[in-house]
């Protein structure tokens, strides 16, 4: 699969930029379809996808899709078993797009990567605290969840232990995971 690189020229008019942007988005969709429809994970195709996401963001940093493409790149990098690389992308999203609507997900994934993949609990705790401080409404929703969050809310162990107990991953809100982390860390 060829690597596609996007560039932004200084003399492009608005219509030409819109056309280039639309073409770049079309290429991204095509590459995503090709990568994610394949049952076997192809490391080379995944890296090419990450490179295209980054090239798009470099060419169109103000486009509303830019933080989404960085988030997708971080997820792809994480699936390539490069948690440090995904952390760099999560940090870039937080720094460059501080008001992006999905930053709660970015902070959560950062904390989860630090906790589960890198076993850096102190840094994970800081990231979880950022979620609590920046997104307090998620904590309120988690407390209302009741039975859906029961294994987490009652401190039955870490993310990995609950995953093992259930035999599958249970989707929980960010705040419930945070509560569990603080319970297991508290004296």
Same-domain pairing of 106 and 187 = yes
88 domain-assigned: no
Same-domain pairing of 67 and 23 = yes
Alpha-carbon span 37 to 106, nearest angstrom: 25
∠ CA 106-91-129, nearest 5°, is: 60
pTM above 0.85, yes or no: no
| Count of structural domains within the chain | 2
93 domain-assigned: no
Contact 101, 121 (CB under 8 A): no
Same-domain pairing of 67 and 120 = no
Residue range 108-161, pLDDT digits in tens = 899 999 989 999 988 988 888 888 888 877 665 655 654 344 343 334 344 444
The residue segments making up the domain with residue 15 are 1-80
Longest dimension (CA), the chain: 62
Contact 86, 80 (CB under 8 A): no
């Amino acid at each position: 699969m060829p690597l596609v690189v996007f560039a932004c020229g200084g003399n492009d008019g608005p219509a030409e930029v819109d056309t280039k942007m639309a073409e770049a988005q079309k290429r991204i969709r095509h590459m995503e379809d090709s990568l994610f429809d394949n049952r076997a994970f192809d490391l080379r195709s995944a890296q090419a996808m990450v490179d295209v996401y980054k090239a798009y963001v470099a060419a169109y940093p103000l486009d509303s899709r830019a933080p989404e493409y960085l988030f997708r790149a971080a997820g792809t990098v994480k699936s390539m078993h490069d948690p440090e690389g995904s952390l760099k992308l999560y940090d870039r999203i937080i720094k460059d797009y501080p008001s992006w609507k999905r930053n709660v997900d970015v902070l959560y994934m950062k904390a989860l990567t630090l906790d589960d993949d890198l076993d850096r609990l102190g840094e994970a705790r800081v990231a979880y605290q950022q979620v609590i401080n920046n997104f307090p409404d998620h904590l309120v929703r988690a407390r209302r969840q009741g039975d859906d969050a029961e294994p987490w809310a009652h401190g039955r162990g870490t993310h990995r232990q609950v995953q093992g107990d259930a035999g599958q991953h249970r989707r929980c809100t960010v705040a419930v995971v945070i509560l569990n982390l603080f319970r297991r860390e508290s004296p």
